Structure 1
Amino acid sequence: MQHLSLAGLSEDGRRLLMVDGAGQEFSLDVDVRLRAALRGDSARLGQLETKMESTLRPRDIQARIRSGESPEDVALAAKTTVEKILPYANPVLAEREHVARRAQGSSVRRRGGLDSGARTLGDAVAGQLRALNVDPESVEWDAWRREDGRWALTAEYSAGRRQGHARFAFDAPGNYVTTENDDARWLIGDPLQESEATPKRDDLQQARERRQAPPVAAEQLVFDETAPAEPTVDLTETAARVRENPAAAPAEPTEPTAQPAAEVEPEPEAPKKPATKRRGRASVPSWDEIMFGGGQQD
């Protein structure tokens, strides 16, 4: 390394004049970095170096880290190395870690007033995982600030065959969290939404199946018991007369035919019981009327 000695100051006062051992002259610009170095302000000097080598200001770097970006992503956007931005990213990363721990100690607002008995988010997660023989410490928590001022809280977990990325919303002033996806609801032991457990009904598909179904045969039709019944014949009086005079009963039922009155020996007419008419039923002639002919008026 070549050693230079201060020879003086330029006429405009903006450069230092330097000379080496061979008498060759050099100049050095007097800027804020040189002044910070002469004062021994190393922090200010580091900020200035990052600002000059990066397309992002330190404030922009911290804002992007606070909104959830990783140091690697910010370094790529700033066109610099991760080591150059870590002095500004580390304080914000520590803030995100602190918020994630605080959120685990907050209360959980569940849907429909559900209450699992757990007092905090951390208790609910621990109860769910320990029941499956999973260490709650295996969950990877992270948090970052959202545009609405609340904090997004995430939890990467693995429980047997189930792996998930749970998302919560943390309200720091109210000190409570709410679930934002099914992985988060499962992680705290809440029942999943109906849309995940029950498939949606396809009404259009059901209509197509009904149109394509074969017509129903007549014998498969269901009889409607509410329909009006056909009128029936009341044989009560006829049965009573047959029981009183079995010899007068015919061998088999035949259609009633009129017989000549002269060929039948008259018999004393038995007292008749008044016929009871039933609504909606046809009247049947008595046995005497069948044997002797004539109607009720005769």
Structure 2
Amino acid sequence: MRELEVIGLQPDGKHLVCADRETGEKFRMPLNDKLRAAARGDIARFGQIEIEMESTLRPRDIQARIRAGASVEQVAAQSGMAVHRVERYAYPVLLERSRAADLAQLGHPVRENGPAVLTLAEVVGLAFRARGHSIDEAEWDAWKDDDGHWIAELRWQAGRTSNAAHWRFQRDAHGGTVTALDDTAADLVDPDFGRPLRGLSPVTRVAEATHEPDPQHTLDDYYESTPRTPEPLDEPDEPKQAPTHPNPKDKRGKPAMPSWEDVLLGIRSSGH
């Protein structure tokens, strides 16, 4: 390794001029923050500048991507930085996202008739139990969209199917509200989610009714579970004899009109 000697600055003041003592060859070096930190012996600042120079992303750019929902691994792969270096800037933003996810669970789902009384966490818990899912195995997350709104996400596995639901969270003095952004999220906060469908009674064939009443049933059978014991009658067991009409014709020779009692008993005027 050859040793260089500082001989001065260029007229623009942005470059340092060095020369090789043995050959007299001159070199130019940019006078930047990294060189200044090295000259001062500031190792911490030198390492910080080195990280920034390894990537085109600045620390604020890294945090912006993490806040928008990217993972540490995704940012590292896109920027070419080491994962542990991305984590240095991502850690406070990841805490911010976790806090936003917790607050979103305390928000009240917005329905057609207004915000629900239960929180999002309570409603989702009921829906999961109705469908036989485990809420403990689900994962909550949150990030900010382009408009600056927090988006809450719930992910869970059902068999071999990966599911995800998203809500927009708006914080207020009453805990905030969450609005479903996809069909899966809308189903989870639907009041009828998981409720069994109303069953239909089997259709039975109704027998044709006859004009004659069934002598074995009375009206009391429709109101009482046990039939009453019939009370004894004061009349004799033998049926009454129908009254006879010896003169079926009146004085004018015309057939006599039957009485009202004969009509009710179904007896002809002849006595039969």
Normalising by structure 1, we get a TM-score of 0.50
SS at match of 2:98: helix
1:124-178: CA deviations, max 9, x gaps?
A: 1222223445332211111111112211111112356875210111113462111
TM-score, structure 2 as length reference: 0.54
**Equivalent residue runs for 1:165-176 within 5 Å:** 165-173=164-172, 175-176=176-177
1:237 corresponds to which residue? none
Aligned residue type for 1:66: R
126-135 or 26-35: bigger deviation: 26-35
The amino acid across from 2:141 in the alignment is: D
Query: In structure 1, how many angstroms separate the alpha carbons of the residues matched to 2:160 and 2:78?
Result: 37
- Name the counterpart of 1:40: 42
Identify the residue that residue 277 of structure 1 maps to in structure 2. none
- 1:1-298 to 2 correspondences below 5 Å: 9-12=6-9, 31-37=32-38, 38=40, 40=42, 42=44, 44-113=45-114, 115=116, 118=118, 120-159=119-158, 163-173=162-172, 175-191=176-192
Consecutive unaligned residues in structure 2, runs of 5 or more = 194-272
Kept in 1: contact 2:59–2:89 (CA 8 A): yes
More helix by share: 1
Give 1:108's aligned amino acid.
Answer: P
Q: The residue matched to 2:140 in structure 1 has which SS?
A: strand
Equivalent residue of 1:169, what SS? Answer: strand
Distance 1:49 1:190, change over 3 A: farther
- Separation in 2 of the partners of 1:18 and 1:95? 52
Preserved CA contact (<8 Å) 1:65 1:92 = yes
CA RMSD, Structure 1 to Structure 2 (Å): 3.9
- Matched residue type, 1:109: V
SS in 2 for 1:11: strand
Corresponding residue SS for 2:178: strand
The answer to whether the 8 Å contact 1:55/1:79 transfers is no
CA distance in 2, matches of 1:133, 1:168: 22
**Post-superposition offset of 1:66:** 1.2
Number of equivalent positions = 188
Aligned residue identity for 1:171 = Q
Structure 1: gaps of 5 or more residues: 20-24, 193-298
CA distances 1:15-73 after superposition (whole Å, capped 9, x unpaired)? 69899xxxxx999956422433535361x434321221112222222112211222233
Q: Tell me the distance in 2 between the aligned counterparts of 1:138 and 1:27.
A: 62
- Aligned residue identity for 2:157: S
Structure 1 contact 66–93 (Cα < 8 Å) conserved: yes
Runs of 4+ with >6 A deviation:
16-19, 25-28
> Which residue in 2 is equivalent to 1:247?
none
Q: 1:134 to 1:62 in 2, by over 3 A?
A: same
Task: Tell me, in whole angstroms, the C-alpha distance in 2 between the residues paired with 1:26 and 1:109.
Answer: 72
Pair 1:100–1:18, CA change in 2 (3 A): farther
The structural deviation recorded for 1:121 is 1.1
Query: Cα deviations across residues 235-265 of structure 1 (Å, max 9, x unaligned)?
Result: xxxxxxxxxxxxxxxxxxxxxxxxxxxxxxx
Residue pair 1:33, 1:48 contacting (<8 A) in 2 also: yes
Q: Write the distance in 1 (CA, Å) between the matches of 2:190 and 2:81.
A: 44
Where does residue 203 of structure 2 map in the other structure? none
CA distance in 2, matches of 1:104, 1:26: 65
Query: Quick one: percent identity of the two aligned structures?
Result: 36
Question: For residue 269 of structure 2, what is the aligned residue in structure 1?
Answer: none
Deviations 1:261-288 (A, max 9, x none): xxxxxxxxxxxxxxxxxxxxxxxxxxxx
Q: Secondary structure at the match of 1:89?
A: helix
One-letter amino acid matched to 1:58:
P
1:91–1:45 distance in 2 versus 1, CA, 3 Å: farther
Residue aligned with 1:130, SS: helix
